[in-house]
A and B are shown apart, each in its own frame.
Chain A
């Protein structure tokens, strides 16, 4: 495979300008992430220490194997919601290695609000378990949660993808043979009690771990019975009387040690033997991505420059390089894994849509996973294109993309607007993982376009009321609308709502994809039922 010839000049003033801009953006992202992970009121930390509890992230580090990565999902989930009171949505999810096994970890973050479940906590957990279901991953639940956040119960309880889905997914996982282990560090009350109860294995910690449908106050209120936490659902009771939990642990460290031993007993099933070569670092430094992504979302960049900084050896076998050139397609390796990459180099025309459809079909036939690098303003509009059947060609692309059997992975590198989001495997299209760069935006249309449309509607309303805004007032209205729009379309906003699996520093893209691809190979795939059509 030939190496991409980068045309980037790192001494270029534009490169330097972009690099400064993006470095700031990344620093901002890292700060937000750090706060979401670690900034907690002193009293919350103290409370955990007094209870002899480890911080959730300390538990995580103890649980994970040394020298192995942890791909955390949605570190800024709920970051823009609830006035920032539920950082990370009060839970930690991700893929890591425990006892040599690839596992999905679903941990309460009891360092904030006792790990209470907010609506977005539930969404984040359900998504994590969906990832386990889609990729056939075993799950370790680290349970330490105050339970559902009652003031917002109506947004987290009854609907199909709300709290019940957590337990439904647990049942599906067990049925599929994906093992689950619960480490009960804290209370699992009411619905939360089902997490350990539905786990195939469980360990409960003396003193702090408890599992019950109703805690002592509720029991007292309901039946008048006086009962202690230990009698009702403590470690000794559940491991010797009720049999609800399997292993008794004297403390958290012992629970983690027992947990690791349990995981080491789990069978290691063969993974899909995806074509693989010896991994090679990208020839071009991924840090140069900072100088490649422009400082304005409307500015174009060559997606090949991005590909060169993600794939092994910066090698890329480009497919149909001279046809449908706004769509870059080709084969590459990421951490050794053979993948087909689709990246946008401009708006989708008829030919670029057909090229994408054909390339995806080829990859599906060849059992090659797909990586989508989105920077798309949408499909071309206008009479000429409609007459050429752009909607029909876009539909072909969607039909193939939605129909392939191979795992798909999406990275929002910049803009993701309109139907382009769909064609390029947006959230609704079952990407196994979907990550966003901090500069990226997701919306029905670009912000300028949308702001102008919204401003026009507003001005028309004013005019109907007989008002005639001055040019200055018009500009003010437009600016307000734009700011508001950008706030709701920014990566922080969409990631807060779990529209993705988290924001990534661009230099982390290669590792995130490597882990995502490796995880996806636990679920079998393949077996196309159509020949490849040359549309």
Chain B
């Protein structure tokens, strides 16, 4: 199992070579001797190649939030086992570009839609954005009702895209 972490959309392999009180890691071709002394659930002293830093850590699922040397990092741990299945799905899923609120739903479940058709009006940061279909298909689900809040990345509309293969 190869641990991998994502920072700013770039995947980095973190390869432990030796565990124990001091851990030896290989990161992007460099060797680091690292120690963590936990002070409480969120605070630790981090010693890397002999130099110490105060480290603050919190974890939410696969997302790690770190703060040291005056900088905050958001790091995702990549599940080596995920993404193995269910590939190809998601072509007809329209994800929220940013968090916001649904102002208006202009399509309903079961509707046939064409590329470019407006499906939803969302509002975020006092700006309204029209959510348009990028594919032709049938709406499988509308993710949110009018007035509902959604987070960035939430599936706003799920469109079933017919298979491109013909039956003949």
Using CB atoms and an 8 Å cutoff, list the residues of chain A in contact with chain B. 61-68, 250-254, 256-257, 260
Contact = CB atoms under 8 A, between A and B. Distances in A.
A250 B80 contact: no
A64 B3 CA distance: 11
Interface string B78-93: 0111101110000000
A260 B81 CA distance: 11
A253 B16 CA distance: 21
Contacts of A254: 81, 84-85
A66 B3 contact: yes
Nearest to B24: A67
A68 B19 contact: yes
Contacts of B16: 66-67
Contacts of B82: 257
19 contacts: A62-B1, A64-B1, A66-B16, A67-B15, A67-B16, A67-B17, A68-B19, A250-B85, A251-B84, A251-B85, A252-B84, A253-B80, A253-B81, A253-B84, A254-B85, A257-B79, A257-B81, A257-B82, A260-B1
Contacts of B18: 67
A250 B2 contact: no
Nearest to A62: B1
Contacts of B23: 67
Contacts of A257: 79, 81-82
A62 B17 contact: no
A250 B19 contact: no
Contacts, number: 38
Most buried by A among B19, B79, B84: B84
A472 B80 CA distance: 67
A66 B85 contact: no
Nearest first, the 8 A-B pairs at minimum CB distance are: A67-B16, A257-B81, A253-B84, A250-B85, A253-B81, A67-B19, A251-B84, A66-B16
Interface residues of B, number: 16
Contacts of A63: 1
Interface of B: 1-3, 15-19, 23, 79-82, 84-86
Decide if the interface of chain A is mainly helix, strand, loop or mixed.
helix
Contacts of B2: 61, 66
B17 A256 contact: no
A65 B84 contact: no
Contacts of B1: 61-66, 260
Contacts of A66: 1-3, 15-16
Nearest to A279: B20
Contacts of A251: 84-85
A394 B72 CA distance: 70
A250 B2 CA distance: 21
Nearest to A253: B84
A250 B79 CA distance: 16
A62 B1 CA distance: 4
A206 to B, nearest CB: 9
Contacts of B15: 66-67
A250 B81 contact: no
Nearest to A64: B1
A255 to B, nearest CB: 9
B3 A256 contact: no
A41 to B, nearest CB: 27
Contacts of B79: 257
B111 to A, nearest CB: 31
Contact of A256 (B19, B81, B85): B81
Given A67-B16, A67-B18, A68-B19, A62 B84 contact: no
Contacts of A253: 80-81, 84-85
A15 B85 CA distance: 56
Contacts of B80: 62, 253
A101 to B, nearest CB: 14
Nearest to B17: A67
Contacts of A62: 1, 80-81
A61 B2 CA distance: 8
Nearest to A258: B81
Nearest to B14: A66
Given A67-B19, A67-B23, A250 B84 contact: yes
Nearest to A252: B84
A62 B85 CA distance: 16
Contacts of B86: 250
Contacts of A67: 15-19, 23
Nearest to B85: A250
A510 to B, nearest CB: 14
Most buried by A among B2, B23, B79, B85: B85
A252 B81 CA distance: 9
A512 B2 CA distance: 23
B112 to A, nearest CB: 30
A382 B7 CA distance: 75
Nearest to A67: B16
